[in-house]
Structure 1
Amino acid sequence: MRIGIPTEIKNHEYRVGMAPAGVSELVHHGHSVLVQRGAGAGIGASDADYTAAGATLADGAQAVFAGSDMIIKVKEPQPQECALLRKDQLLFTYLHLAPDPQQAQALMASGCTAIAYETITDDRGGLPLLAPMSEVAGRMAIQVGAVSLQKANGGLGVLLGGVPGVPPGHVVIVGGGVVGYQAALMATGLGARVTILDRSLPRLRWLDDQFKGRAQAIYATQQASMTAFADADLIVGAVLVPGAAAPKLIRRADLSRLKPGCVLVDVAIDQGGCFETSRATTHQDPTFVVDGILHYCVANMPGAVPRTSTHALNNATLPYALALADKGWQTACRDNAHLARGLNVHAGAITCPEVAQELGLPLTRVEAVLG
């Protein structure tokens, strides 16, 4: 199969769809890989590194898209990239279509087949291709939240870890999944007071056992949540409904109950955000203020640490990329029902139930596509 790796063009996105080590594996399996010149610059991978791995270099995205059967990316295709996609071409990347009807329509119009990292599942009910970036984003949420809390950046002026004689900052994490757990690890490591809100009793028990009193795991009733929010210095939104838009957990009317200068970090912004006042921002201009509350809503947080993120993501995506390339996407999806859950768009139709429901579009079932 001919596989294309274009340069990512989203604002301040430095990751790359496949590192040289992954390219080498694909070539070893007999596939040809076309890499856009400079695609790996953000992770310190030179064009020479890619040619040494067996790739062919291409000048510009148009050449990569035109010369490839499968495109492997990191972030959702931008409008100019959607225009380069074609019928019978496979796109393998993050899509996050539920809050993005324009992208959904563009992919449908292209006629391509699109498999989304974020809806592929595993035997344990997890999301194995979302997990590595959730780990990065969860840890980064505390890092960027701590910086945003600095007074010069618009925050409360609170040091999360405190100092002797002064209490630490209070971090409230909404959602105890992969993002929430990683955020809690970082926050407790800094010495902050940490509250995790979730509605899964098994997960709350697991979190309680993991942190052994260093963080409070609380059932997220409306009353308990608002009590925690009112006392928080930093709130991390980490709620995920696979494939669907994130629920709105803090409404605009609730902001008046928060401390002025409190920081909201919305890690769910890729899926529309879990705060009503959230809107996607970029690393170039990451924050904004609504009613005295500082919001951090960067839609590609892991892109700020591309070396760590690319290698972590490639470790997860490579086995699936190999299966798709070795078998073809239809056979690979027939052989692996979890991979088939990643199929979001095919031949002008939406094939992911959650996306179809959120966007109010007709659903073509994966079973019908795969025969």
Structure 2
Amino acid sequence: MSSSFGEQLIQFAYAVDYIDATSFNRIRQLVDNYTRNTLNITVTRFMVTSRIGNEIGLIPHKHATMGKYSTMPVRDSRGRVASQTAFAFLYNKRLWIVSANPSEPLLPKCRSYRDLWSKSKGIPKYIKPTNDPIKTSIIIPLKDENGNVFGVFNFETVERLDITKAAKQELTIIADAMAIAYRTHSITKARNLFTGNAIDELNKILQHPLPKLTKPNIFLASSTNAESDVISTIKKIFLEKEYLDKFNQIYWKDIHRPGNINMQLLNELGTCRYGVCYLSERIPDAQPALYQDNPNVVFEAGMLHGRSDANSPTPASWIPIREKNSTDAPFDFASERMIIVPRQNGRLQVSQFKTMFRNRLDALIGTKK
């Protein structure tokens, strides 16, 4: 013996673990088509619980997703059951409602009702949801996996239908299957929401500066007339084994490509995560030796300093180096931790300078805690 539509539907509902909004609506449409063809059902309403303030209400699921219907209370202002769907929901009753008076067959107009399924008494007034001349309203509670009622499935027709065992069995199975499908749909919607939120969080991460996975660049800026003992010592440290795999060194004097050197310097500087700016240059003919800050190096230092904010699209960290016998430091850099070049009788104290520079370099690139 072949399975009925309801039996096929409930097998499907048990088998699947993902039902999105489109799929759920397609299943609803299949149920509508089936009940229209077999019971001449005019309209169906799949209603689920909602809230009106602190009170529980029912809302048609399809219209809720479209934002059309407001929630309908299950009790009126005097505490009475507000509708027949609310009666089925509150008392967990399957209802097959027709007019108690065959001469007044229209449910919206009749004065009393008969429940052919559960023989319920005290059935509240029929609330007219459509303009159709409804004569039969079938309402089946929807239950979760623990047996708690979370809504109702309402089938209505313009015909006065006599109840049959086959119809009761098939509609019960369909309602149970749709309850399972709705639970799966709710889980799917929650998963999609969580997934969407997680993707949004990932996207937020991308809006912030990210550490490069490639070896970063370090820019060495100096005056054309910078003291060669300082520059050569810095470059030698850059070439030490400990630092070779930590960054790529870019020294402006090593750029020999044809074209505008100033534009090339700006482009290279923009690619650098780190910078070392030896600001000082000797003032000609000054005795004893006196130094000033080279304006080009100050400009380059300013570019790095401006990117020192971690929220900058291309953040940078830098080390300023100056000679002791120098004019006042530029205002913007005065608070920076400068390396003051150690000299004795004009001679660079190489060992001391190396220690100072390595310590700052290690802190800059994070090689030591």
What TM-score bracket applies, with the shorter chain setting the length?
under 0.3
Which structure has the bigger radius of gyration? 2
Asked which structure has the greater RCO (Cα within 8 Å, sep 6+), the reply is: 1
What is the TM-score when the length of structure 2 is the normalising length?
A: 0.27
